[in-house]
Structure 1
Amino acid sequence: MLDERVKITDLADKRLLRDRLGYVRKVLLNCYGMYQSRGWKIEHIRVRIGRTGSGSAPHYQLEYVSEDFDLSKTFVETRFLRRSFPQQFSGQNHEKKGFGFAKESWSTELESVASLEELRERLFKTK
């Protein structure tokens, strides 16, 4: 099991991801997809990864975090009183899934889209 504070950047830096650049690109594409399909603002999207595997292609979930976010809830209320549940994705094929993992199976750390964009640029330069 991976460390509870693990992030995609950690896995990329340790070269644990099978296809570092490809994985990060596809995670970002799903972030932009949530922006388009649900109207989530890019600056409020955060990524949390699963900890149960080896780190070569971890499952991940996208969460919407804003100043109105209440950590005691499993959902985020938007100003329109809609609830935006985290969306989970397979790390293998990046398709939407619903894993139902226990809370302990997910990393405690969240990573921003801006951080992942920086990582993508760095990986692209070292390719």
Structure 2
Amino acid sequence: MSAPGRTDLPGRTHLPVEVISKIAGQAALEARGIGAGAGGFLGMGSKGNFGARPQAKAEVFGRAVVLRLELGVRFGEPIESTLSAARTHITERVETLTGLSVRQVDVSITWVHQDREDHKKNSHKGKELR
């Protein structure tokens, strides 16, 4: 017979900002219509990737967190509602997984991706807007 797990044991938990940043980036990847920049060398030839984790940085102030993310969106998606849903998802995931309180989620849109099929239909030049 095993004893139930105790939750009243003393001890400290250290959660590095790098870990919080990765959690935020992974949560952003889970959000619909959000992607990351990928590839390229020294910023040249890079492209959007909806399978890569977006870059995220966390700042911790006591038990409060401020997040900053760089990400891309699909062309044609309403940016305001896409980011609102992403912010909500990121906040919920970071708070659930870390126990910290997210106070702010700042987002920089670094690219907009147009699907190849849309590109053919609309005859715009380039598949990615920067």
TM-score (norm: length of structure 2): 0.32
Larger RCO (CA under 8 A, 6+ residues apart): 1
Higher strand share: 2
